[in-house]
Amino acid sequence: MGDAKRQIVAFGGGGFSMEPKNPLLDDYVTGLVAHGAQRPKVCFLPTASGDADHYIVRFYKAFGQRGCETSHVSLFRRDGGAADIHGHLLEQDLIYVGGGSVISLLGAWRAHGLHITLREAWERGVVMCGLSAGSLCWFDVGVSAFHGEAEAVRGLGLLPWSNTIHFDAEPEREDAYRELLLSGGVCEGFAVEDGAALHFEGARLARVVTSRPRAKAYRMTQVDGAVERLPLAAEYLGAPRERPVEIVAA
């Protein structure tokens, strides 16, 4: 357990629910846990959507056709998807968190103790990933605009940074994020466009991957009272692959 690699892949937006005809990001996270002929165990947490039935169905279709052993955990249904949801999550290879309201997601997780279980799973080497709310949740602070104006939301703190998502699709997020950085409302961190994903090993950003040729992610820092937006080197997953693009420092 102590030697397990701790991995989180945080999508700015994408995956089966946003890019149903573009499998690149979902193939990438599945590839992190595939072990030869073994069927990777992939569990979906649709909490941020209120456990929407259509979302769960789309997950089973997308990952079932990849040959995965699929399951889900529901906190808003009498049948939660597993008799022991905590033990079930600890047995997974990949935990995939869907989009929606990160505030609702974190409240439900904390009420059911999943914030503790998910940290333990991550520490054991279970790969964590997600989009939108499922991206923001892993960070110290996420900047969410789901309920109106952008606001800072305290996350699980597995990653000691701030994060905001849909950075190209919702331009008003940048102004809000800059204001929060300058006021001290959030710590320094990252801004991620739809189709881009941050792959962390431990707390270190190991690489940025994209499902779209021009998708970008940025490092957001405050220097001398001004916010600097640094584009990060990214690897387009649809291009012929030679070697991963490594991020030297985050």
Active centre residues (catalytic): 132, 166
Q: Which domains does the chain have, with CATH numbers?
A: 7-236 (3.40.50.880)
Kindly report, residue by residue over 202-212, the tens digit of the pLDDT.
Answer: 999 999 999 99
Taking CA atoms, 230 is separated from 32, 103, 106, 216, in Å, by 27, 28, 29, 10
pTM recorded for the entire structure: 0.91
- pLDDT classification of 241: cutoffs 50, 70, 90: low
- Residue 97's contacts (CB-CB under 8 Å, 6 or more residues apart) are 44, 45, 47, 48, 105, 128, 129, 130, 131, 133, 134, 135, 137
Check pLDDT > 60 for residue 246. Answer: no
Residues of the chain with pLDDT > 90: what percent? 71
Kindly report, residue by residue over 1-22, the tens digit of the pLDDT.
Answer: 445 799 999 999 999 999 999 9
Ramachandran category for residue 113: left, alpha or beta (phi over 0 → left; psi -120 to 50 → alpha): left
Q: Residue 247's pLDDT is what?
A: 56
Q: Residue 244's pLDDT is what?
A: 56
Comparing 150 with 51, the larger pLDDT belongs to 51
Mean pLDDT for the stretch of residues 50-63: 96
Q: Residue 250's pLDDT is what?
A: 47
When computed from its CA atoms, the radius of gyration of the chain, rounded to whole angstroms, is: 17
Comparing 229 with 77, the larger pLDDT belongs to 229
Kindly report, residue by residue over 228-237, the tens digit of the pLDDT.
Answer: 999 999 999 9
